[in-house]
Amino acid sequence: MRPPLFPRKRFGREEIRSAPFLLEDPLTNGCIEWFDEGRQFRFSSLDDLLKIMKARGDTKAKSIYSINKNINDYDLKRTSDRRKKVAGGDDPYAEWECFYNPFFKEGQRELLDYIKRRPHPSRVKDKDKAKKKEDHPIE
């Protein structure tokens, strides 16, 4: 069988492809986890997440700013409310950061193909193209 003439590039980087493995790693127990029946994930703090990523040998995780940038670049939406951190309360997860993407679900790695890295604004010739989103067949 011949390889395709124009192979489709799946991802620009490995961050989003390694994220499910990070959530399933026993080292991360108590720091990062799936919740809401595998539709969202949460972590206790960026500092803890950075330490775990470095312990796993992730050389691209240089700072909490690079992790935060990747969260934004891969269009992971924050579902946690920062105001709850200040208010406190009885919820033990009030200070955790929670994120969601319709194509990032527990046990469904085939959906990762639909997560695209947001193009850098300086590399996009037409700024309107950068703002438009693709229609995804799976929701």
Averaged pLDDT for residues 51-64: 80
pTM above 0.75? no
Residue 30, in any domain of the structure: yes
Task: Look at the block and give the residue holding tokens 């011949």.
Answer: 2
Residue 3, in any domain of the structure: no
Q: What is the pLDDT of residues 16-47, one digit of tens each?
A: 667 777 788 777 778 888 998 999 999 888 88
Residue 132, in any domain of the structure: no
Residue 45, in any domain of the structure: yes
The alpha carbon dihedral of 31, 35, 41, 44 has a sign of negative
- Residue 42: give its domain's CATH number: 1.10.10.10
Domain count, the chain: 1
- The overall average pLDDT reported for the chain is 75
SS3 state at 72:
helix
Residue 128, in any domain of the structure: no
